[in-house]
Structure 1
Amino acid sequence: MQTKHYCDGKLPNCISVHFNLEDLTKTNSGVSNIPQDNSVIANLRKVAEHILEPVRKHFEQKVTIHSGYRSPAVNKAVGGSNNSQHSRGEAVDFRVQGHTVHEVAMWIKTNLIFDQLILEHFLPNSPHSGWVHCSYSHNNRNHALTKFKGSQIYHPGILLAPPTAKVK
């Protein structure tokens, strides 16, 4: 795939070569979502550099961002956690064109340094369901989880199916 550079690095809204501020701040909430703090922009650049760009380079496909930065008002409107890394610009929810979310999550788990990686709203018999949530911060834990659609439980690891209960 021929690489088309999205940003030249000199434009004020460039976050990385292939991602701009609009990509990482878009919302359907109807609430303003422009970062007011330069530290948020710096965090978005780190997420793009350490997560999004390596994913795009490896899979050689478009990365579709569903949620990046969330202002406090947007985070509240979408029911996000009060301590969401999205509100600090440290997290992104995305999918990669032509690849399952499980495949992308496994590649990240094996090849990148991250804080938290979640295979979110995944349905075991629907490989294109859900999305990848990945964060990058100053104190990365490489914490991988799976949350299946319809469940509130976060299971350790990147799973294809929920663990079965053990019979005693």
Structure 2
Amino acid sequence: MKYFTMKELAKSSTADKLGIDNTPTSEASVALSNLVTHVLDPLREMYGKAITVNSGYRCPKLNASVGGAKNSQHMRGEAADITAGSREENKKLFELIRDNLPFDQLIEYNYKWIHVSYSSMHDNRSEILHLNH
């Protein structure tokens, strides 16, 4: 984990506000490390500039509090929502991931942010979704 820390992958202002302990389980920590090793660190290398993690690991209570999907990969430590600060830059991140890196799901929300997941538990689907959210 060269560019990202476990702390930033588990940080949540919602968890802080609601007093939720969002400490990753040991399984989620391994999954987060794999996400960083296979996707986020290589992406940061290619992009050459800082990338912000808006949401990484979410414990089940936090995931419910933010309205996350009931089977969200965030709860397993397999997903992160990231941004480079603008829609134009987020589109670049999306294209770098799509064209160069392994992923399970890659979702863009009108390029407001990018959701990327990676699984070591099964074959990655390389599923791409475009959502107007």
Question: Structure 1 length as normaliser, TM-score?
Answer: 0.71
Q: How does 1:142-153 map to 2 (within 5 A)?
A: 142-149=126-133
Instruction: Tell me the secondary structure at the aligned position of residue 100 of structure 1.
Output: helix
Q: How does 1:1-168 map to 2 (within 5 A)?
A: 16-29=1-14, 30=17, 31-35=20-24, 37-97=25-85, 100-120=89-109, 122=110, 129-138=111-120, 139-149=123-133
Deviation string 1:95-152 (CA, Å, 9 cap, x unpaired) is 12575212211111111110000012x1xxxxxx510100000220100111013xxx
More helix by share: 2
Separation of aligned partners in 1, 2:51 and 2:108: 16
Question: Could you list the runs of 4 or more consecutive aligned residues of structure 1 that deviate by over 6 angstroms after TM superposition?
Answer: none
Instruction: Tell me the secondary structure at the aligned position of residue 61 of structure 1.
Output: coil
Residue 25 of structure 1 contacts residue 69 of structure 1 at CA under 8 Å; is this kept in 2?
A: yes
Separation of aligned partners in 1, 2:37 and 2:11: 19
Larger Rg belongs to? 1
Separation of aligned partners in 2, 1:83 and 1:109: 23
Amino acid at match of 2:93: V
Residue 61 of structure 1 contacts residue 97 of structure 1 at CA under 8 Å; is this kept in 2?
A: no
Query: How many residues align structurally?
Result: 126
**Unpaired segments of 5 or more residues in structure 1?**
1-15, 123-128, 150-168
Separation of aligned partners in 2, 1:32 and 1:42: 18
Identical pairs, percent? 36
Deviation string 1:50-103 (CA, Å, 9 cap, x unpaired) is 111011101110010000000011001000011000000000000125752122
Residue 62 of structure 1 contacts residue 97 of structure 1 at CA under 8 Å; is this kept in 2?
A: no
